[in-house]
Amino acid sequence: MTSSLTELRPPPTRPSPPPTRIRGRPSRGWYWVAGIVAVLGLTAAFVWGAVGVITALDRVDGYDRVTIPGSVSVFVADPGTKVVYYEDPAELARYADPTATGRPATRWSPATDATIEVGDAASTPTWQQLGLQVTGPGGTVVPVRTDRSAARHDVDPGRLGRAVARFDAPTTGLYRVSAARATEAGATLAVGDNFAGTIAMTALGAASLGLVTVLAAVLVAVITYRARS
């Protein structure tokens, strides 16, 4: 009788796969981060724009002025383009509106009266009509050209300034600006920088900052939503 022994071996086992890493969903707090970024960015843009505009308008008070006819010496510390403004006190005459106050038209009082603007019938004179001339630090004649930006300021009550000319001041020093002819009594000439351009650049920068921060906040919110989905 023949007997055989059969060796029983367990079947080979395959190595178990590594455990799958479960990626956790991002927290809802990222939505708050997106909202905070948007609020802070818009606030910074608003403050930047407001402070820039106020600063530019405050600089108008420091412009060099002279009654027409007359001349004024302007010291240029920062070479660049300078703007000449014609300020006419008659161009912004304000009176109380009888329909709003129930009283006859009187001189405007900013504390109590509703107002309307009464424009002057005469148009703003050109720099040629004013006989405007500019001489540089060495006594050389500086070319003057018409300002076509229509920049205007109304900082002082009852006085409106309009840009009429501009000239280039390439070097530091004293520039003499003179107007030989007056078209009406009480008008003045103001010389300063291009405040309208400064305001425009400030507004552009503030708007760009606000747009970038809003887009960044939207991007964070979208990424968070897709990751949580």
Question: What does the pLDDT read at residue 8?
Answer: 61
pLDDT tens string 190-210 = 898 888 888 888 889 999 999
Where does 172-212 show beta strands of DSSP type E?
173-179, 188-192
pLDDT tens string 149-180 = 777 777 566 668 888 999 999 999 999 999 98
pTM of the model: 0.64
Helix or strand holding residue 106 (H, E): none
Which residues, at least 6 apart from 76, have a Cβ–Cβ distance to it below 8 Å?
A: 82, 169, 171, 172, 173, 174, 175
Domain boundaries, the chain: 29-228
